[in-house]
Structure 1
Amino acid sequence: MLSTNIILPAFLGIILIVAIIKKVDAYSHFVHGVQDGFGLFNDVFPAMLGMMFSIAMMKESGLLDAIANLFTSFAGVIPKEIFPMMLFRPISGNASLAVMIDIFKTLGVDSFAGQMASIIQGSTDTTLYVITLYFASVGVKKIKNSLVIGLISDLAGITMAILLTFYFFS
């Protein structure tokens, strides 16, 4: 049985052996890839920073709690702690993951809200993040119907996650 501690060094060794056999300068290609990565980081970082700042402002100002209370008044059967995750999931994976971890810490991993948060995390994607990052990185200016379709699919994923949680865990 191959040890997991050996997989990454073996993979790197295979890459170096193939580079030697094909007479490719692996180091210069590696350095060029790092330079391209820094360029992408410079393009993407301002949008990520702005997104993280706005999420932190909503959380610290109490607006997030007010929105959760509003949603709870309409859909009281869904745990109150889930609504911030439902709001952040289409925007930022890290923000929704932070909300899920907070649910785990306060209510527990095996709580109903924890199970629902886990299913939502796996059932949806970060639509706005994907559109912002990937479309911008390849220079797409007109997103056409991508945003609407992505948000509809997020709504469907969140709805099904909630229904499946009630079906399997209540």
Structure 2
Amino acid sequence: MSVFDFTVKTSRGEAKPLADYRGQVLLIVNTATKCGFAPQFRELQQLHEKYKDQGLTVLGFPCNQFREQEPVKDSEMQETCQINFGATFPLLGKIDVNGQNADPLYRYLKKEAPGFFGSSIKWNFTKFLVDAEGRVVKRYSPATKPLKFEAHIQKLLAGAKKGTPTG
């Protein structure tokens, strides 16, 4: 099993198979526009712009589970994030990342890369780095700014070009 075995919902409610991203390095993030970590949208966008043509895709999954910090409707999410943060990377449908209604993708991500204090997501902007084969290779805390692990992204992208795992 890999991340590419999952299908998620777009902000328009359409099914989006993650298999569409097979062969790309993914950075999967639960986002919230009213979160104190929301300035990370800008760094996520920087990574998206710098590496999208080399095989990186940033996928944002809005989440309202943490103090209701994501009040924006799915249908307005992409535009809101572009206007407020300059974000043009894909923002998918709003999901739960914890609890009984946790999205199956996030259940898988948490199982593959448990956090320091267990498998639950502690807050918005928890980040998962996935290699081009769909394997979860690293989990980053909400406090870890995206540019801090740019070198790891570069290493995965270089491995994807050569067709070798570089976890």
TM range (shorter): under 0.3
**What's the TM-score once normalised by structure 2's chain length?**
0.24
State the structure with bigger RCO (CA 8 A, min sep 6), 1 or 2: 2
Normalised by the length of structure 1, the TM-score is: 0.24
Structure with the largest fraction of strand:
2
Counting helix residues as a fraction of each chain, which structure ranks higher? 1
Of structures 1 and 2, the larger Rg is shown by 1
